[in-house]
Amino acid sequence: MSTRIQRRVLADGREILFFQDADSPVQTIAEDPRPAEQRPVGGQLRFDLLTGEWVAVATHRQSRTHLPAAAECPLCPSTPERPTEVPAEDYEVVVFENRFPSLGPKQGSVPADPGPAFAEAAAESALTAPAHGRCEVVVFSSEHNGSFADLDTRRARTVIDAWANRTAELSELPGIEQVFVFENRGEEIGVTMNHPHGQIYAYPYVTPHTMVTSARAVAHRRETGRPLMGDILSFERTSGERMVLESAHFSAFVPYAARWPIEVHIVPHRQVLGIDELDEAERDDLARIYPEVLRRIDGLYPSPTPYIAAWHQAPVNCADRSAEWMHLEITSPRRAEDKLKFLAGSEAAMGAFVGDVSAEETAARLRAVSTVHEDGAR
């Protein structure tokens, strides 16, 4: 399968890419008729000496679009009367630079640890860097209503190809250390636009969570000679008690030490570092199994469940490629039909989670959900 790509530039200079299946008619893309506007000059990174973590400060995001009505949605196709972010009458999958980015639009490197420089200079400038990087929006469909779970296999595959393309290209930008593909679904999560979409962040540093997991993966590989995620996958497949479903190339399970009321990990059976390394058969399989997992999560309750879907890919310049193993984590704070889990003192302040339900109970409930999709997937 070959996904076609068309590249354009929006009126303010942001890049936009249109992805479509090889058997689809060539899309007609118009010039962006909107007047050119000044792009944000970019935010700032500030270094937390206590934790050793970078914090992005992007005050220009305060004015970003917030839950617009369908008639005002900036992700819907353009019309002659109302041009949007997408200058086309229709589209399949589109990716463009975020109008209100947390990182970028310029690229460059940042110090790994400016702490020593601060100790020498004792100045704020030693703890500050430009918020280099790039933030992109990935729109799954031209339909305003719906979700990734509603996509047929063909469209889901096109999105996967878009993720792979962006992972590969963004990893090559100057200073980029990590590419993070993710989707926030539901106002309870903090979504500001309901049109089905996700995002991609290209960071100029390795994120705190990835630093922890990568260090453990490297240590495990050094001590055992095996990749950590490979051992976790074998552990869950052998047990089977927390398995949700398996396919030829992927396993979906609730992890043994799940933190959230709903938490599912989707792990490829073959060790790959990023989405761009998945082969054709794996991408086809993922296009079936991923929406199926989301439909099972939605099937737990009468109304759609909010979630965060986070692709954990290896850092661009990882310490040990043989230790890394890409996977997807889907988490939701929904602990009952009308209740959400909020992070209390132990979790928010100390990072010490307390589970509300057992992993085995959640997995059993997800296995029991029966789903039939329009394209025949079950």
Question: Which residue numbers are catalytic?
Answer: 197
Find all residues with CB under 8 Å of 235, minimum gap 6, and list them: 256
Side-chain-side CA neighbours of 321 within 13 Å: the count stands at: 6
The CA R_g of the chain, rounded to the nearest whole Å, is 21
Question: To 10 degrees, what angle do helices 359-368 and 280-298 make?
Answer: 100
User: How far is residue 270's CA from residue 154's CA, in Å, rounded to a whole number?
Assistant: 23
The phi and psi torsions of 42 (rounded to 5 degrees) equal: 110, 155
Residues with Cβ within 8 Å of 118's Cβ and at least 6 positions away in sequence, in order, are: 47, 49, 126, 127
Measure the CA–CA gap between 210 and 309, rounded to whole angstroms.
Answer: 15
Three-state SS for 336? strand
For residues 23 and 14, give the distance between their C-alpha atoms in angstroms, rounded to a whole number: 28
- Length of the chain (residues): 378
Measured between alpha carbons, how far is 288 from 346 in angstroms, rounded to an integer?
A: 38
